[in-house]
């Protein structure tokens, strides 16, 4: 793959010219370039002067034998600084994203071809980003946008070497810029409405001494007030990357990312609440010690700390043998907070009813008390991906192994609230805790999950007709063992539970270059996703004779997807375009359902939606500069996604969902972006349209379609002494200030009361939705040294 060179702030990547020149190695591959030191992700193709990339940096020269779209740093650096990766890919075909706040500090949601983020594999610098338990992605934690070199979006399938156990619906791969050869620095600051503030600084060491070692270090701080309620969001973020390249294709790199954030959770909304309250569905901003309420905003915090480290490295062992090694470590610790009135006279410890005490409060002096109850999750996750590639002329054979061990500890303690301020004494639920009369700390969940992944993969690529025809076949075989220890008593499965899965995953592809401008490609891949770890455990409130509100479901089968694509690319001197027909078929389609149990505890669980299939078309087109330095980009998608089964309603009956349109899937999407850049003055206009999305399997509830527009403009000044290209820019998001529901958080069998397959009356269920971010304007000043 080749990437168009962009603005000077994004330094060129490591060059491996001798290795890239080998015909067999430089051929397109289903294996992809998940590690940033893989050759194909690092070779640059320079087309003349600056600011000439297709679509303003939204397309690159592409040879993969499957659908893949890319945004580069030339596009990224013109957007609002600090946007999370989901926000940066919103215009690409098939991508539907939604953020709850303008800067993306509070997270975001995403679907691609109607498949949600838990079915999409995310990597940064070759290591996995998805949560190992429920496969969610928290985009605000990942990376500072100023350090992104490019984001690859693979709409149909992840590569064989991608370290994922949940990517049944494509992948998003992110790559950091490389350090520069010379000492330098970058500084930018942003201020906008909602009193939003952000500052970012990066220092490049340049080559150190006479060595090949170079690195950069960066730091950012962001703060914004909540736009539809009290409180604010803050984020501290640091990154460093070091690269040492020598000889013919030897590269060692190391990246370390640290993130610490604190935000107030934005409440989701039901359709009824949205119609009555709109954006004013928020937490209370007042605290009354005489009448304490769990709806006070300080009791709904979302603190988290993350540390990511990876060391992707490539070594040329011989003229024909290359080794790529990507060890990584993932640490996370955080929660989502809530508060509930708890009885001190009667608490359930499994089937036992016990009294409880906390600090100075006990059953003799207090009957009930408002207590803080966060959902803590702590994750430790080391792993490594090893690949060995043999290049023999027109053939390339790659074998590899991915191993990962993870330990995830998830608890739900109860702790005291400061009755003077309304804030929790400890935002992680630290002591004093609610203790039962038997001496055990009360918790609504108390689990430990250990997951071991062993994956072998092999890929063989044959390049014929002077690299015009490429044939490729591969196989991934994954073994997964998941062990759970539930420390709660009287569970339906006992204290120890085990799950194990194994699956062969074949992949084949073909690409034919008709000439230098036209190529055809086709691929077929198989992927699978194991159930969320929550399916192993009982949790929530315990009722005598009924057990826990949420029961383990060890019979949930893994989700299997088979995806086919056929496409045509035109990549000419002025215009580039791609059109792709796709079909996917799912067995045991797992949907996320948001549930609120009688105690108010909110959780997500997997439900089996049976089989489903979809047919659709993706299209994108972009140009290099045409009249007046304009570079338009346009993307579109049509998808017809259908449920193939009648879905269970939870009462022993089924709803009539067979043949209905799949939930969380817009039938149409359109993206448009127009870029102007004459080297000094630059501007952009973006538009995104998303059709309505169903939230139930029988299509009786949905959120309407919406259209949003963004604008940016700026000016690069000439160098002033040591200051290089000082720049001022203005970014406006959602310029019409459209208030809308942007995302279906969970799915239900039915929203309204209906008659089931067996004649049973099935009551309707509430589905939650995300309220999307409003109008935002931010001004930014930046400079390089």
d(CA 393, CA 410): 51
Architecture of domain 3-176: Beta Complex (2.170)
pLDDT-derived band at 265 (thresholds 50, 70, 90) equals: confident
More confident residue, 140 or 648: 140
Answer yes or no: is pLDDT of 200 > 80.
Answer: yes
39 and 667 Cβ atoms separated by less than 8 Å: no
Domains 3-176 and 184-784 share a fold: no
14 and 245 Cβ atoms separated by less than 8 Å: yes
What's the pLDDT score for residue 461?
93
Q: Output DSSP code: residue 719.
A: P
d(CA 20, CA 44): 11
d(CA 511, CA 519): 7
Tokens 């089964």: give the residue.
645
d(CA 765, CA 550): 16
For 424-438, what is the HEC assignment? ECCCCCCCCECEECC
* Nearest partner of 156 among 711, 580, 767, 512, judged by Cα: 580
Answer yes or no: is pLDDT of 685 > 70.
Answer: yes
Q: What is the pLDDT of residues 662-683, one digit of tens each?
A: 999 999 999 999 999 999 999 9
d(CA 767, CA 749): 10
Whether the model pTM is above 0.75: yes
d(CA 406, CA 533): 12
Q: What is the pLDDT of residues 53-112, one digit of tens each?
A: 999 999 999 989 999 999 999 999 999 999 999 999 999 999 999 999 999 999 899 999
Average pLDDT, the chain: 90
d(CA 217, CA 201): 8
Task: Name the least confident of 519-533, 686-700, 753-767.
Answer: 753-767
Phi, psi of 555 (to 5 degrees): -95, 0
d(CA 549, CA 540): 5
Answer yes or no: is pLDDT of 523 > 70.
Answer: yes
From the DSSP assignment, how many helices (H) and strands (E) are in the chain? 6, 50
Tokens 């009813």: give the residue.
353
Whether the link from the prior residue into 479 is cis, omega within 30° of 0, is no
CA quadruple 68, 72, 75, 80: dihedral positive or negative? positive
The domain locations on the chain are: 3-176, 184-784
Query: What Cα–Cα distance (Å) separates residue 763 from each residue in 20, 660, 749, 756?
Result: 61, 19, 10, 10
Torsion angle, alpha carbons of 88, 92, 95, 100, to 10: 30
Contacts of 458 (CB under 8 A, 6+ apart): 397, 398, 399, 400, 474, 475
What's the pLDDT score for residue 107?
87
Task: Say if strands 395-413 and 352-354 run parallel, antiparallel, or are unpaired.
Answer: unpaired
Burial of 515 by CB count in 10 Å (0-12 exposed, 13-18 middle, 19+ buried)? exposed
Share of the chain above pLDDT 90, in %: 79
Contacts of 722 (CB under 8 A, 6+ apart): 785
d(CA 215, CA 680): 29
* Nearest partner of 41 among 3, 11, 94, 68, judged by Cα: 3
pLDDT-derived band at 594 (thresholds 50, 70, 90) equals: low
Tokens 């600051």: give the residue.
189
3-state class of 147 per DSSP? Answer: helix
d(CA 135, CA 165): 9
* Nearest partner of 744 among 768, 711, 714, judged by Cα: 768
What's the pLDDT score for residue 215?
97
Contacts of 330 (CB under 8 A, 6+ apart): 127, 128, 132, 307, 308, 379, 380, 381, 382, 383, 406
Burial of 537 by CB count in 10 Å (0-12 exposed, 13-18 middle, 19+ buried)? buried
Q: What is the pLDDT of residues 148-191, one digit of tens each?
A: 999 999 999 999 999 999 999 899 999 999 999 999 999 999 99
Angle (CA) 477 479 485, round 5°: 160
Terminal CA-to-CA distance of the chain, rounded, Å? 31
Q: What is the pLDDT of residues 4-63, one digit of tens each?
A: 333 333 333 333 333 333 333 444 566 666 888 875 443 343 333 568 899 999 999 998
**Where in 301-359 does DSSP place strands (E)?**
304-310, 313-318, 321-334, 339-343, 347-349, 352-354, 356-358
Stated as kind and residue range, the H or E segment containing 73 is helix 73-76
Q: Output DSSP code: residue 652.
A: S
3-state class of 155 per DSSP? Answer: coil
CATH 2.40.170.20 assigned to 184-784: yes
Answer yes or no: is pLDDT of 251 > 50.
Answer: yes
290 and 132 Cβ atoms separated by less than 8 Å: no
Contacts of 137 (CB under 8 A, 6+ apart): 86, 110, 117, 118, 120, 122, 129, 130, 131
d(CA 583, CA 62): 21
Q: What is the pLDDT of residues 495-506, one digit of tens each?
A: 999 999 999 999
Arithmetic mean of pLDDT, 480-498: 93
Answer yes or no: is pLDDT of 310 > 60.
Answer: yes
Q: What is the pLDDT of residues 394-404, one digit of tens each?
A: 999 999 999 99
Query: What Cα–Cα distance (Å) separates residue 109 from each residue in 90, 95, 120, 317, 492?
Result: 11, 11, 12, 42, 33
What's the pLDDT score for residue 70?
95
Q: Output DSSP code: residue 118.
A: G
d(CA 582, CA 570): 18
pLDDT-derived band at 3 (thresholds 50, 70, 90) equals: very low
């Amino acid at each position: 793959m080749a990437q168009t060179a962009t603005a000077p702030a994004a330094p060129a990547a490591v060059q491996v010219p001798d290795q890239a020149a080998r015909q067999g190695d430089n051929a397109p591959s289903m294996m992809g370039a998940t590690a940033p030191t893989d050759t194909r992700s690092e070779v640059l193709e320079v087309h003349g002067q600056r600011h000439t990339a297709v679509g303003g940096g939204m397309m690159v020269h592409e040879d993969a034998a499957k659908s893949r779209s890319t945004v580069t740093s030339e596009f990224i650096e013109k957007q609002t600084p600090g946007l999370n990766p989901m926000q940066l890919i919103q215009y690409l075909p098939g991508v539907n994203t939604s953020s709850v706040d303008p800067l993306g500090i509070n997270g975001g949601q995403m679907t691609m071809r109607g498949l949600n983020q838990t079915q999409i594999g995310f990597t940064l610098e070759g290591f996995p980003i998805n949560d190992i338990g429920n496969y969610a992605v928290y985009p605000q934690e990942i990376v500072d946008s100023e350090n992104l070199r490019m984001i690859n979006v693979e709409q149909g399938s992840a590569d064989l070497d991608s370290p994922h156990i949940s990517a049944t619906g494509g992948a998003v791969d992110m790559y950091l810029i490389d350090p520069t050869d010379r000492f330098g620095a970058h500084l930018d600051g942003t201020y906008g409405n909602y009193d939003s503030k952000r500052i970012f600084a990066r220092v490049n060491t340049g080559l150190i001494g006479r060595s090949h070692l170079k690195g950069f270090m960066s730091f950012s701080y962001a703060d914004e007030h909540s736009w539809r309620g009290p409180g604010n969001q803050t984020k501290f973020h640091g990154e460093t990357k070091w690269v040492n390249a020598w000889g013919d294709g030897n590269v060692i790199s190391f990246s370390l990312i640290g993130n610490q954030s604190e935000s107030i959770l934005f409440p989701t909304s039901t359709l009824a609440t949205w119609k009555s309250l709109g954006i004013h569905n928020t937490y209370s901003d007042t605290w009354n010690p005489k009448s304490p309420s769990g709806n006070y905003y300080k009791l709904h915090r979302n603190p988290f700390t993350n540390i990511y480290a990876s060391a992707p490295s490539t070594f040329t062992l011989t003229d024909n043998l290359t080794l790529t090694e990507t060890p990584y470590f993932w640490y996370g610790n955080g929660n989502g907070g809530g508060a509930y009135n708890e009885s001190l006279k009667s608490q359930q410890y499994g089937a036992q009813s016990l009294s409880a005490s906390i600090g100075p409060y006990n059953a003799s002096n207090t009957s009930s008390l408002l207590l803080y109850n966060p959902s803590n999750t702590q994750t430790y996750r080391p792993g490594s991906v090893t690949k060995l590639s043999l290049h023999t002329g027109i053939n390339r054979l790659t074998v590899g192994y991915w191993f990962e061990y993870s330990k995830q500890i998830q608890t739900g303690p109860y702790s005291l609230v400061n009755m003077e301020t309304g804030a929790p004494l400890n935002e992680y639920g630290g002591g004093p805790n609610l203790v039962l009369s038997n001496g055990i700390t009360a918790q609504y969940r108390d689990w430990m999950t250990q997951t071991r992944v062993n994956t072998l993969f092999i890929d063989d690529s044959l390049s014929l007709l002077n690299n015009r025809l490429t044939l490729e076949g591969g196989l991934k075989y994954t073994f997964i063992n998941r062990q759970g220890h539930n420390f709660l008593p009287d569970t339906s499965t006992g204290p120890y539970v085990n799950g194990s899965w194994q699956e062969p995953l074949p992949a084949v592809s073909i690409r034919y270059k008709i000439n230098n401008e036209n190529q055809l490609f086709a691929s077929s891949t198989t992927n699978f996703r194991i159930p969320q770890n929550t399916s192993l455990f009982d949790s929530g409130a315990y009722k005598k004779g009924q057990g826990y509100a949420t029961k383990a479901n060890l019979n949930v089968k893994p989700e299997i997807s088979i995806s086919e694509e056929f496409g045509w690319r035109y990549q000419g001197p002025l215009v580039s375009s791609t059109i792709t027909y796709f079909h996917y078929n799912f067995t045991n389609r797992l949907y996320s359902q948001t549930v609120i149990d009688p105690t108010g505890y909110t959780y997500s669980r997997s439900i089996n939606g049976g089989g489903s299939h979809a047919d659709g078309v993706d299209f994108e087109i972009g140009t290099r500069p045409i009249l007046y330095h304009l570079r338009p980009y346009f993307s579109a998608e049509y998808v017809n996604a259908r449920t193939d089964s009648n879905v269970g309603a939870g009462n022993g009956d089924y709803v009539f969902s067979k043949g209905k349109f799949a939930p969380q899937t817009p039938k149409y999407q359109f993206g448009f972006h127009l870029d102007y850049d004459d080297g000094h003055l630059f501007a952009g206009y973006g538009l995104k349209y998303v059709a309505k999305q169903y939230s139930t399997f029988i299509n009786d509830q949905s959120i309407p379609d919406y259209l949003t527009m963004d604008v940016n403009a700026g000016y690069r000044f000439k160098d002033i002494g040591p200051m290089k290209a000082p720049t001022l820019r203005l970014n406006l998001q959602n310029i019409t200030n459209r208030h809308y529901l942007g995302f279906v958080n969970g799915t239900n069998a039915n929203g309204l009361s209906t008659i089931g397959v067996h004649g049973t009356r099935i009551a309707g269920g509430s589905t939650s939705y995300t309220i999307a971010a409003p109008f935002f304007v931010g001004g930014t000043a930046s400079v390089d040294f």
